Structure 1
């Protein structure tokens, strides 16, 4: 893995694009780590790096999804404990969107969410929409921090970035749950309105 990471780092921005793409498909090390190391070397290019990483992730997402549809259970059963897979499956069935949003913000390899989405035949357009929100925020928060603060951002990320990402992810999920609950309340109200006969 170290050899592959060093190889990708040698390609700079293109290496990050490729890493983000395969992170959404099968690679076990999140692209976040390569983004941080490249942004620390070239803070002036940090936002461009974020854009390339984001593009790679969005291109890789439907590939990971297709892998999940064709042989996802085989892959997940091979690399995950059964109790973890059962718990993740149950959570995903109840709160698919929230699981994707949280996963997009955390350092967990994003492939788990793309493959699991394919396994469970979760709508691809929803996966892409929530991945676009969550992954976009994550890549660009890192990019903006390095662009604004240079190498000093590395210490900020080491200290508080994980907490910030989880907090932002939780905020997104809370807003989403409130909107969903509001829509569910609206539907019974519409159904209760009597239809006037003409």
Structure 2
């Protein structure tokens, strides 16, 4: 079955439209098209990477390009898109970003505020783990820019986090083939698993800090 047929049988509405567009772009320019789609996903969150990445894996399984090529191009797209938002956040600041978000169709101001609050509480961990959370994954770059997080550190965290995310979903699409849309069912479960991991890390961090304070007071 072709990629187009697999999409027509699996999706409808906006996911179907996005999926067909991604297939057209990958068909025209190959793996760089998957990278371009992921770059745009960072800038326009309504384009879901949960659809783009498994489709890149599906195309790789059909021999249109290699798996490593797909991972490399999509991760490059993730990093470039993240730095674009980082630069916007750094240039505009919090107040102007919120006002701008309120004027952009399909962008929820609440998601922007959530990303800012997340970064304020968790810093570097927010940038890394935020790459695994729908709704936060793209927007977490903005508060990193607002707070002027060191660009090299931001880039490294984004590269590793996005590389893991992209690899998992591309390999899933590669293995599942025409059943790639099964990945969409995993996303909500994965989101709660990541939240649980972050909560455990925060608890561990607090416990370690408290133990150190008690040791010093003694």
* TM value normalised by structure 2: 0.67
Listed as ranges, the gaps of 5+ residues in structure 1 are 194-198
Q: Give per-residue Cα distances to partners, 1:12-51, cap 9 Å, x unaligned.
A: 2101222333444x23424443222232233253453123
The whole-number CA distance in structure 2 between the counterparts of 1:140 and 1:58 is 14
1:27 maps to: 44
Sort the Cα spacing of 1:84 and 1:23 in 2 relative to 1 into closer, same or farther, 3 A: closer
Listed as ranges, the gaps of 5+ residues in structure 2 are 1-16, 103-107
Q: Given that residues 23 and 109 in structure 1 are in contact (C-alpha distance below 8 angstroms), is that contact kept between their aligned partners in structure 2?
A: no
The whole-number CA distance in structure 2 between the counterparts of 1:156 and 1:84 is 26
**Count of aligned positions:** 190
Cα deviation, residue 77, structure 1: 1.8
Cα deviation, residue 114, structure 1: 0.8
2:78 maps to: 57
Q: Given that residues 50 and 140 in structure 1 are in contact (C-alpha distance below 8 angstroms), is that contact kept between their aligned partners in structure 2?
A: yes
Cα root mean square deviation, aligned: 3.3
* TM value normalised by structure 1: 0.73
1:138 maps to: 165
Runs of 4+ in 1 over 4 A off after TM superposition: 1-7, 81-88
**What secondary structure does 1:107 align onto?**
coil
The whole-number CA distance in structure 1 between the counterparts of 2:149 and 2:48 is 23
1:157 maps to: 183
2:212 maps to: 187
The whole-number CA distance in structure 1 between the counterparts of 2:203 and 2:145 is 26
